[in-house]
Amino acid sequence: MIVRQEEDTLGRLLESVKDIVDEINIVDTGSTDKTKEVARQYTDRVFDFKWIDDFSAARNYSFSKATKQYVLWLDADDVLTEQDIERFKHLKQTMPIVDRVTMTYNLGFDAEGRVTTSLRRNRLVRRECNFQWIGAVHEYLAVGGTFLDSDVCITHHKEKVYTDRNLQIYRKRQKAGEKFSTRDLYYFANELRDHGFHEEAASYYEKMLDTGEGWIEDNIQACLKLAGCYSKIGNERKRFEALTRALSYEIPRPEVSCAIGEYFFGEKRYSIAIFWYQQATEITPPSTMGITNRNAATWYPHLQLCLCYDRLGDYRKAFEHNEQALRFNPTHQSMLYNRNYFRDTHQLVPEESAD
Protein backbone atom coordinates (compact mmCIF):
# COMPACT_ATOMS: atom_id res chain seq x y z
CA MET A 1 0.00 0.00 0.00
CA ILE A 2 0.98 3.61 -0.51
CA VAL A 3 -0.70 6.02 1.90
CA ARG A 4 -0.85 9.62 2.98
CA GLN A 5 -3.14 11.24 5.56
CA GLU A 6 -5.24 8.08 5.90
CA GLU A 7 -5.70 7.82 9.67
CA ASP A 8 -9.50 7.63 9.32
CA THR A 9 -9.71 4.66 6.95
CA LEU A 10 -6.43 2.73 7.10
CA GLY A 11 -7.38 0.77 10.22
CA ARG A 12 -10.66 -0.34 8.64
CA LEU A 13 -8.86 -1.77 5.62
CA LEU A 14 -6.04 -3.42 7.57
CA GLU A 15 -8.50 -4.98 10.00
CA SER A 16 -10.25 -6.62 7.06
CA VAL A 17 -7.08 -8.12 5.56
CA LYS A 18 -4.92 -8.87 8.61
CA ASP A 19 -5.90 -12.55 8.71
CA ILE A 20 -5.59 -13.26 4.98
CA VAL A 21 -2.20 -11.77 4.12
CA ASP A 22 1.20 -13.01 5.31
CA GLU A 23 2.94 -9.66 5.24
CA ILE A 24 1.84 -6.01 5.28
CA ASN A 25 4.03 -3.35 3.67
CA ILE A 26 2.96 0.26 4.10
CA VAL A 27 4.74 3.05 2.24
CA ASP A 28 3.93 6.50 3.58
CA THR A 29 4.41 9.43 1.20
CA GLY A 30 4.35 12.26 3.73
CA SER A 31 1.60 11.92 6.32
CA THR A 32 1.46 14.44 9.14
CA ASP A 33 -1.49 12.81 10.91
CA LYS A 34 -1.56 9.45 12.72
CA THR A 35 -1.45 7.30 9.58
CA LYS A 36 1.88 5.66 10.45
CA GLU A 37 0.76 5.07 14.03
CA VAL A 38 -2.30 3.22 12.75
CA ALA A 39 -0.16 1.22 10.33
CA ARG A 40 2.23 0.14 13.07
CA GLN A 41 -0.66 -1.44 14.96
CA TYR A 42 -0.72 -4.04 12.18
CA THR A 43 2.86 -4.24 10.90
CA ASP A 44 6.39 -3.12 11.61
CA ARG A 45 7.06 -2.88 7.89
CA VAL A 46 6.28 0.83 7.50
CA PHE A 47 8.50 2.74 5.06
CA ASP A 48 8.85 6.36 4.00
CA PHE A 49 8.97 7.55 0.41
CA LYS A 50 9.50 11.18 -0.54
CA TRP A 51 6.59 12.29 -2.70
CA ILE A 52 7.72 13.34 -6.20
CA ASP A 53 4.33 13.76 -7.93
CA ASP A 54 4.61 10.25 -9.34
CA PHE A 55 2.24 7.51 -8.18
CA SER A 56 4.03 4.79 -10.14
CA ALA A 57 7.33 5.57 -8.47
CA ALA A 58 5.70 5.20 -5.06
CA ARG A 59 3.87 2.00 -5.98
CA ASN A 60 6.96 0.42 -7.53
CA TYR A 61 8.86 1.24 -4.34
CA SER A 62 6.11 -0.41 -2.30
CA PHE A 63 6.29 -3.53 -4.48
CA SER A 64 10.07 -3.63 -3.97
CA LYS A 65 9.47 -4.15 -0.24
CA ALA A 66 7.35 -7.28 -0.73
CA THR A 67 9.05 -10.59 0.13
CA LYS A 68 6.28 -13.18 -0.36
CA GLN A 69 5.39 -15.21 -3.44
CA TYR A 70 2.45 -12.97 -4.40
CA VAL A 71 1.80 -9.25 -4.01
CA LEU A 72 -1.66 -7.84 -3.31
CA TRP A 73 -2.12 -4.09 -3.65
CA LEU A 74 -4.87 -2.01 -2.04
CA ASP A 75 -5.73 1.59 -1.23
CA ALA A 76 -6.64 2.92 2.19
CA ASP A 77 -10.26 3.64 1.28
CA ASP A 78 -10.80 0.04 0.15
CA VAL A 79 -12.17 -2.75 2.31
CA LEU A 80 -13.00 -6.44 2.06
CA THR A 81 -16.42 -7.56 3.24
CA GLU A 82 -16.78 -10.69 5.37
CA GLN A 83 -17.94 -12.61 2.32
CA ASP A 84 -14.89 -11.55 0.33
CA ILE A 85 -12.54 -12.35 3.21
CA GLU A 86 -13.84 -15.92 3.05
CA ARG A 87 -13.55 -15.94 -0.74
CA PHE A 88 -9.96 -14.75 -0.45
CA LYS A 89 -9.07 -17.47 2.05
CA HIS A 90 -10.53 -20.06 -0.33
CA LEU A 91 -8.59 -18.53 -3.22
CA LYS A 92 -5.32 -18.90 -1.31
CA GLN A 93 -6.03 -22.55 -0.67
CA THR A 94 -7.10 -23.48 -4.19
CA MET A 95 -5.47 -21.18 -6.75
CA PRO A 96 -2.98 -22.63 -9.24
CA ILE A 97 0.35 -20.97 -9.94
CA VAL A 98 -0.54 -18.06 -12.20
CA ASP A 99 1.12 -14.75 -12.93
CA ARG A 100 -1.84 -12.56 -12.01
CA VAL A 101 -5.28 -12.69 -10.45
CA THR A 102 -8.05 -10.23 -11.29
CA MET A 103 -10.67 -9.13 -8.78
CA THR A 104 -13.82 -7.08 -9.19
CA TYR A 105 -13.55 -3.53 -7.85
CA ASN A 106 -16.93 -2.32 -6.60
CA LEU A 107 -17.08 1.46 -6.93
CA GLY A 108 -20.70 2.63 -6.85
CA PHE A 109 -23.71 1.60 -4.78
CA ASP A 110 -27.39 2.45 -4.58
CA ALA A 111 -29.28 3.51 -1.47
CA GLU A 112 -29.74 -0.14 -0.50
CA GLY A 113 -26.05 -0.91 -0.83
CA ARG A 114 -26.34 -2.85 -4.07
CA VAL A 115 -23.40 -2.53 -6.45
CA THR A 116 -24.14 -0.28 -9.42
CA THR A 117 -20.68 0.40 -10.84
CA SER A 118 -17.69 -1.92 -10.98
CA LEU A 119 -14.65 -2.95 -13.00
CA ARG A 120 -11.96 -5.62 -12.87
CA ARG A 121 -8.37 -4.99 -11.89
CA ASN A 122 -5.23 -7.07 -11.65
CA ARG A 123 -4.93 -7.24 -7.86
CA LEU A 124 -2.69 -10.17 -7.02
CA VAL A 125 0.53 -10.71 -8.97
CA ARG A 126 3.41 -13.14 -8.75
CA ARG A 127 6.38 -11.24 -7.32
CA GLU A 128 9.06 -12.87 -9.46
CA CYS A 129 7.31 -11.54 -12.60
CA ASN A 130 8.50 -8.08 -11.53
CA PHE A 131 5.50 -6.31 -13.04
CA GLN A 132 5.91 -2.53 -13.00
CA TRP A 133 3.56 0.38 -12.45
CA ILE A 134 3.44 2.94 -15.26
CA GLY A 135 2.16 6.53 -15.26
CA ALA A 136 2.69 9.40 -12.87
CA VAL A 137 -1.08 9.87 -12.41
CA HIS A 138 -3.85 7.28 -12.75
CA GLU A 139 -1.11 4.70 -12.90
CA TYR A 140 -1.62 1.15 -14.14
CA LEU A 141 0.12 -2.13 -13.51
CA ALA A 142 1.63 -3.50 -16.73
CA VAL A 143 1.06 -7.24 -16.58
CA GLY A 144 1.02 -10.34 -18.77
CA GLY A 145 1.21 -14.10 -18.57
CA THR A 146 -1.22 -16.58 -17.13
CA PHE A 147 -4.18 -15.28 -15.15
CA LEU A 148 -7.19 -16.21 -13.07
CA ASP A 149 -10.43 -14.22 -12.82
CA SER A 150 -11.38 -14.71 -9.18
CA ASP A 151 -14.71 -14.14 -7.44
CA VAL A 152 -13.09 -11.95 -4.78
CA CYS A 153 -14.35 -8.36 -4.72
CA ILE A 154 -12.63 -5.29 -3.34
CA THR A 155 -15.06 -2.64 -2.12
CA HIS A 156 -14.20 1.04 -2.45
CA HIS A 157 -15.61 3.44 0.12
CA LYS A 158 -14.25 6.92 -0.56
CA GLU A 159 -14.17 8.96 2.64
CA LYS A 160 -11.82 11.81 1.79
CA VAL A 161 -12.95 14.88 -0.12
CA TYR A 162 -11.72 14.91 -3.70
CA THR A 163 -8.98 17.46 -4.36
CA ASP A 164 -7.36 18.91 -7.45
CA ARG A 165 -4.05 17.15 -6.67
CA ASN A 166 -4.08 15.01 -9.83
CA LEU A 167 -5.20 17.92 -11.98
CA GLN A 168 -2.31 20.03 -10.70
CA ILE A 169 0.19 17.26 -11.46
CA TYR A 170 -1.09 17.19 -15.02
CA ARG A 171 -1.05 21.00 -15.22
CA LYS A 172 2.59 21.00 -14.13
CA ARG A 173 3.46 18.42 -16.78
CA GLN A 174 1.45 20.38 -19.35
CA LYS A 175 3.28 23.60 -18.51
CA ALA A 176 6.61 21.82 -18.84
CA GLY A 177 5.68 20.88 -22.40
CA GLU A 178 5.65 17.15 -21.71
CA LYS A 179 4.19 14.96 -24.44
CA PHE A 180 1.21 13.07 -23.04
CA SER A 181 0.58 9.45 -23.86
CA THR A 182 -2.84 8.44 -25.17
CA ARG A 183 -3.72 7.26 -21.68
CA ASP A 184 -2.56 10.54 -20.15
CA LEU A 185 -4.72 12.48 -22.61
CA TYR A 186 -7.73 10.49 -21.42
CA TYR A 187 -7.08 10.90 -17.71
CA PHE A 188 -6.15 14.57 -18.04
CA ALA A 189 -9.47 15.08 -19.81
CA ASN A 190 -11.20 13.27 -16.94
CA GLU A 191 -9.58 15.57 -14.39
CA LEU A 192 -10.55 18.65 -16.40
CA ARG A 193 -14.12 17.40 -16.71
CA ASP A 194 -14.37 16.56 -13.00
CA HIS A 195 -13.30 20.10 -12.14
CA GLY A 196 -15.72 21.81 -14.52
CA PHE A 197 -13.36 22.68 -17.39
CA HIS A 198 -15.73 21.12 -19.91
CA GLU A 199 -14.52 22.85 -23.07
CA GLU A 200 -10.87 22.07 -22.39
CA ALA A 201 -11.78 18.53 -21.37
CA ALA A 202 -13.61 18.06 -24.67
CA SER A 203 -10.50 19.08 -26.60
CA TYR A 204 -8.40 16.49 -24.77
CA TYR A 205 -10.97 13.73 -25.24
CA GLU A 206 -10.90 14.57 -28.96
CA LYS A 207 -7.09 14.44 -29.01
CA MET A 208 -7.12 11.11 -27.20
CA LEU A 209 -9.66 9.55 -29.57
CA ASP A 210 -7.90 10.95 -32.63
CA THR A 211 -4.71 9.04 -31.77
CA GLY A 212 -6.53 5.81 -32.67
CA GLU A 213 -4.42 4.10 -29.99
CA GLY A 214 -6.73 4.05 -27.00
CA TRP A 215 -7.90 0.94 -25.18
CA ILE A 216 -11.42 0.16 -26.38
CA GLU A 217 -12.83 0.58 -22.86
CA ASP A 218 -11.28 4.04 -22.55
CA ASN A 219 -12.46 4.96 -26.05
CA ILE A 220 -16.08 4.15 -25.26
CA GLN A 221 -15.95 5.97 -21.93
CA ALA A 222 -14.24 8.93 -23.60
CA CYS A 223 -17.09 9.18 -26.11
CA LEU A 224 -19.69 9.15 -23.33
CA LYS A 225 -17.82 11.74 -21.29
CA LEU A 226 -17.12 13.86 -24.36
CA ALA A 227 -20.85 13.88 -25.09
CA GLY A 228 -21.45 15.04 -21.52
CA CYS A 229 -18.97 17.87 -21.93
CA TYR A 230 -20.63 19.07 -25.13
CA SER A 231 -23.99 18.91 -23.41
CA LYS A 232 -22.65 21.12 -20.61
CA ILE A 233 -21.44 23.75 -23.07
CA GLY A 234 -24.64 23.58 -25.11
CA ASN A 235 -23.34 21.97 -28.28
CA GLU A 236 -25.95 19.32 -28.99
CA ARG A 237 -24.68 18.53 -32.48
CA LYS A 238 -21.24 17.65 -31.11
CA ARG A 239 -22.89 15.74 -28.28
CA PHE A 240 -24.67 13.49 -30.76
CA GLU A 241 -21.52 13.04 -32.85
CA ALA A 242 -19.63 11.91 -29.76
CA LEU A 243 -22.33 9.38 -28.88
CA THR A 244 -22.45 7.89 -32.36
CA ARG A 245 -18.66 7.74 -32.40
CA ALA A 246 -18.92 5.20 -29.57
CA LEU A 247 -20.76 2.89 -31.98
CA SER A 248 -17.61 2.62 -34.11
CA TYR A 249 -15.81 0.59 -31.45
CA GLU A 250 -18.28 -2.17 -30.65
CA ILE A 251 -21.96 -3.07 -30.72
CA PRO A 252 -23.74 -0.53 -28.50
CA ARG A 253 -23.35 -1.24 -24.83
CA PRO A 254 -26.25 -0.52 -22.47
CA GLU A 255 -24.52 2.68 -21.30
CA VAL A 256 -24.19 3.92 -24.88
CA SER A 257 -27.75 2.96 -25.80
CA CYS A 258 -29.07 4.80 -22.73
CA ALA A 259 -27.00 7.87 -23.53
CA ILE A 260 -28.34 7.99 -27.10
CA GLY A 261 -31.83 7.44 -25.72
CA GLU A 262 -31.31 10.42 -23.40
CA TYR A 263 -30.33 12.58 -26.35
CA PHE A 264 -33.52 11.78 -28.27
CA PHE A 265 -35.62 12.05 -25.11
CA GLY A 266 -34.29 15.57 -24.64
CA GLU A 267 -35.23 16.30 -28.25
CA LYS A 268 -38.76 14.99 -27.49
CA ARG A 269 -38.34 12.37 -30.19
CA TYR A 270 -39.79 9.71 -27.99
CA SER A 271 -40.24 6.94 -30.55
CA ILE A 272 -36.52 7.00 -31.40
CA ALA A 273 -35.63 7.22 -27.71
CA ILE A 274 -37.74 4.10 -27.14
CA PHE A 275 -35.69 2.20 -29.72
CA TRP A 276 -32.42 2.96 -27.92
CA TYR A 277 -33.71 2.37 -24.40
CA GLN A 278 -35.16 -0.95 -25.57
CA GLN A 279 -31.73 -1.85 -26.94
CA ALA A 280 -30.25 -1.27 -23.50
CA THR A 281 -32.64 -3.80 -21.96
CA GLU A 282 -31.86 -6.46 -24.57
CA ILE A 283 -28.07 -6.25 -24.90
CA THR A 284 -26.05 -8.57 -22.69
CA PRO A 285 -23.31 -6.44 -21.09
CA PRO A 286 -19.92 -7.80 -22.21
CA SER A 287 -17.46 -9.37 -19.82
CA THR A 288 -14.76 -6.74 -19.60
CA MET A 289 -11.99 -5.31 -17.45
CA GLY A 290 -13.53 -1.89 -18.04
CA ILE A 291 -16.04 -0.02 -15.93
CA THR A 292 -19.64 -1.25 -16.01
CA ASN A 293 -22.72 0.70 -14.96
CA ARG A 294 -25.24 -1.98 -14.02
CA ASN A 295 -28.12 0.49 -13.84
CA ALA A 296 -27.90 1.00 -17.61
CA ALA A 297 -28.90 -2.61 -18.23
CA THR A 298 -31.47 -2.98 -15.46
CA TRP A 299 -33.92 -0.48 -13.97
CA TYR A 300 -32.83 2.76 -15.65
CA PRO A 301 -33.82 2.05 -19.30
CA HIS A 302 -37.17 0.65 -18.12
CA LEU A 303 -37.83 3.83 -16.15
CA GLN A 304 -37.01 5.90 -19.23
CA LEU A 305 -39.23 3.70 -21.39
CA CYS A 306 -41.99 4.37 -18.88
CA LEU A 307 -41.51 8.10 -19.35
CA CYS A 308 -41.40 7.84 -23.15
CA TYR A 309 -44.59 5.79 -23.40
CA ASP A 310 -46.31 8.10 -20.95
CA ARG A 311 -45.43 11.10 -23.15
CA LEU A 312 -46.88 9.23 -26.13
CA GLY A 313 -50.08 8.42 -24.27
CA ASP A 314 -49.51 4.65 -24.13
CA TYR A 315 -50.12 4.38 -20.40
CA ARG A 316 -50.38 0.58 -20.32
CA LYS A 317 -46.86 0.16 -21.72
CA ALA A 318 -45.58 2.97 -19.53
CA PHE A 319 -47.01 1.21 -16.48
CA GLU A 320 -45.52 -2.15 -17.51
CA HIS A 321 -42.03 -0.71 -17.88
CA ASN A 322 -42.29 1.03 -14.52
CA GLU A 323 -43.15 -2.33 -12.95
CA GLN A 324 -40.18 -3.95 -14.69
CA ALA A 325 -37.94 -1.20 -13.34
CA LEU A 326 -39.27 -1.84 -9.83
CA ARG A 327 -38.35 -5.52 -10.09
CA PHE A 328 -34.72 -4.44 -10.33
CA ASN A 329 -34.95 -1.64 -7.76
CA PRO A 330 -38.05 -2.10 -5.57
CA THR A 331 -37.41 0.85 -3.24
CA HIS A 332 -36.66 3.54 -5.83
CA GLN A 333 -38.77 6.55 -4.90
CA SER A 334 -39.40 7.76 -8.46
CA MET A 335 -40.78 4.40 -9.54
CA LEU A 336 -42.92 4.08 -6.42
CA TYR A 337 -44.30 7.56 -7.15
CA ASN A 338 -45.04 6.42 -10.71
CA ARG A 339 -46.86 3.36 -9.42
CA ASN A 340 -49.15 5.60 -7.39
CA TYR A 341 -49.63 7.87 -10.39
CA PHE A 342 -50.72 4.99 -12.64
CA ARG A 343 -53.05 3.70 -9.94
CA ASP A 344 -54.68 7.05 -9.17
CA THR A 345 -54.77 8.50 -12.70
CA HIS A 346 -55.13 5.49 -14.99
CA GLN A 347 -56.44 2.78 -12.65
CA LEU A 348 -53.47 0.55 -13.45
CA VAL A 349 -52.17 -1.63 -10.63
CA PRO A 350 -49.78 -4.62 -10.36
CA GLU A 351 -51.50 -7.96 -10.91
CA GLU A 352 -50.94 -9.09 -7.33
CA SER A 353 -52.78 -5.95 -6.18
CA ALA A 354 -55.66 -6.21 -8.64
CA ASP A 355 -57.78 -8.29 -6.28
* 267-287 confidence digits (pLDDT tens): 999 999 999 999 999 998 888
Q: Helices marked H in 176-282 — which ranges?
A: 182-194, 198-210, 216-232, 236-245, 254-266, 270-282
Burial of 131 (0-12, 13-18, 19+ CB in 10 A): buried
**CA 17 to CA 2: how far, in whole Å?**
15
Number of helices (H) and strands (E), helices first, in the chain?
Answer: 14, 11
Decide: 36 and 60 in contact? Cβ < 8 Å. Answer: no
pLDDT digits (tens, 9 = 90+) for 212-248: 999 999 999 999 999 999 999 999 999 999 999 999 9
pLDDT in tens, 195-218: 999 999 999 999 999 999 999 999
Q: How far apart are CA 235 and CA 227, in angstroms?
A: 9
Residues 222 and 209: their CA atoms lie apart, in Å, by 8
CATH class of 2-156: alpha beta
Q: What residue spans define the domains of the chain? A: 2-156, 162-250, 277-355
Outline where DSSP puts E strands in the chain: 2-3, 26-28, 46-48, 70-72, 78-79, 100-109, 115-126, 132-134, 140-142, 147-156, 292-293
CA angle 280, 190, 207 (to 5 degrees): 95
Query: Rounded mean pLDDT of 7-19?
Result: 97
**Tens digits of residue pLDDT in 57-94:** 999 999 999 999 999 999 999 999 999 999 999 999 99
Q: What is the pLDDT of residue 354?
A: 54
C-alpha distances out from residue 135 to 60, 132, 156, 166, 169, Å: 11, 10, 21, 12, 12
The model's pTM is 0.92
* Domain 162-250: CATH architecture, name and number where available: Alpha Horseshoe (1.25)
The answer to whether residue 160 scores a pLDDT higher than 90 is no
